C-alpha cells in the first residue's frame, strides 16, 4: 500500500463507484488481479499491516468483491490476510501483535502492526465471518486496546488504533479505550498558527499530514464519531461528491480534539 499499486487500485475502485465509471473500475480490477499473484511470482510485502503488509491488499480484494460480487476476491482477500497473520505472534499479555522485521519487538499499529491486520480482518468478516483468519480478531483487537501509546498519528500512533477500534463491534472496554485514545490525541496537540497541530513522528515536530499529523487524526475522529469516511475502504459509507460536510466533533475531552 505504501508507495505501491494497492493504494492506486483502492482509489480507482472507489472513484469508479462514485462517478459510475466502468473504465476506471476495469483499471482498478486489473491492478488487483496483478497483486493477487504477487506472493506467488514475487517477494511481496515483508511486514504486516495496512501500509507495509498484505492487509492493504486484503482490503483491496474485499473492495473488489463489493464492486463485482465475484467470490474469488474473497478467496484472494483471505490469502492476503493469512500472509499477514503468519507474521503475528501472541505476546505475554495474550494480545496478537505483528512482528517488526529486523527488530526484536512487536507492533500494534495501523501502518505496520496488528491494527492494520485487524482492519483487514474486520472487512473480511463482514462477508466471510467463517474464514479462519477472522478467528484472530479478538487477539488483534486486544492489541489495539494497548495501554501505552506515545504518538498521536494514524500510521504508528493513537489515531490508527482509534480508527480500527471504531469499526469493531461495540463493547464497554472498547468504548473506554477509544475515549482514552481521543483524550491522548488532544493532550499531544499544540498551538500552530491560528489553529493546532499534533506532534509528528517521534514528537520532534508538529505535523499536519495523514500518516503522522492532523489529517490522519481527523480521519480517526470522524470514524469515532460515525461520520462517513473519505477513505476508500470496503464497507465504509462515503460522501457523495456534492454532499456538504457536517460538523466534526469528538467524544473525548482532550484539548485539540474538536
More confidently predicted of 38 and 202: 202
For residue 46, which of 78, 82, 87 has the smallest C-alpha distance?
A: 87
pLDDT at position 234:
81
DSSP 158: H
* pLDDT attached to residue 39: 66
Whole-number mean pLDDT of the chain?
88
CA distance 172 to 165: 12
Q: 167: Cβ–Cβ under 8 A, 6 or more apart, which residues?
A: 119, 122, 223, 235
d(CA 86, CA 132): 12
Give the model confidence (pLDDT) of 80-104 as tens digits. 999 999 999 999 999 999 999 989 9
- Residue-wise pLDDT for 150-189, tens only, equals 999 999 999 999 999 999 999 999 999 999 999 999 999 9
Per-residue pLDDT at 83: 95
**Spatial separation of the C-alpha atoms in residues 211 and 156, rounded to whole Å:** 8
Sequence ranges of the domains in the chain: 149-228
pLDDT-derived band at 37 (thresholds 50, 70, 90) equals confident
- Going from the C-alpha of 128 to that of each of 108, 232, 256, the distances in angstroms are 24, 20, 38
Reported confidence tier of residue 232, pLDDT bands at 50, 70, 90? confident
pLDDT digits over 1-16, tens only?
A: 787 899 999 999 999 9
Averaged pLDDT for residues 138-142: 97
Amino acid at each position: 500500500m505504501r508507495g505501491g499499486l494497492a493504494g492506486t487500485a483502492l482509489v480507482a475502485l472507489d472513484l469508479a463507484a462514485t462517478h459510475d465509471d466502468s473504465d476506471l473500475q476495469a483499471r482498478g480490477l486489473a491492478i488487483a488481479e496483478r497483486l493477487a499473484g504477487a506472493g506467488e511470482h514475487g517477494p511481496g510485502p515483508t511486514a504486516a499491516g495496512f501500509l507495509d503488509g498484505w492487509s492493504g491488499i486484503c482490503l483491496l480484494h474485499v473492495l473488489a468483491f463489493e464492486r463485482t460480487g465475484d467470490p474469488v476476491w474473497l478467496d484472494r482477500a483471505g490469502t492476503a490476510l493469512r500472509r499477514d497473520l503468519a507474521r503475528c505472534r501472541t505476546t505475554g499479555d495474550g494480545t496478537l501483535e505483528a512482528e517488526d522485521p529486523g527488530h526484536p519487538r512487536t507492533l500494534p499499529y495501523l501502518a505496520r502492526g496488528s491494527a492494520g491486520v485487524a482492519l483487514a480482518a474486520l472487512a473480511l468478516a463482514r462477508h466471510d465471518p467463517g474464514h479462519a483468519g477472522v478467528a484472530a480478531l479478538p487477539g488483534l483487537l486486544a492489541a489495539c486496546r494497548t495501554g501505552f501509546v506515545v504518538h498521536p498519528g494514524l500510521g504508528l500512533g493513537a489515531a490508527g488504533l482509534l480508527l480500527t477500534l471504531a469499526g469493531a463491534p461495540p463493547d464497554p472496554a472498547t468504548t473506554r479505550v477509544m475515549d482514552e485514545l481521543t483524550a491522548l490525541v488532544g493532550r499531544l496537540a499544540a498551538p500552530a498558527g491560528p489553529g493546532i497541530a499534533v506532534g509528528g513522528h517521534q514528537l520532534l515536530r508538529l505535523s499536519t499530514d495523514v500518516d503522522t499529523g492532523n489529517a490522519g487524526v481527523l480521519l480517526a475522529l470522524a470514524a469515532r464519531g460515525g461520520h462517513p469516511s473519505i477513505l476508500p475502504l470496503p464497507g465504509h459509507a462515503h460522501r457523495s461528491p456534492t454532499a456538504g460536510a457536517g460538523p466534526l466533533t469528538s467524544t473525548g475531552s482532550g484539548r485539540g480534539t474538536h
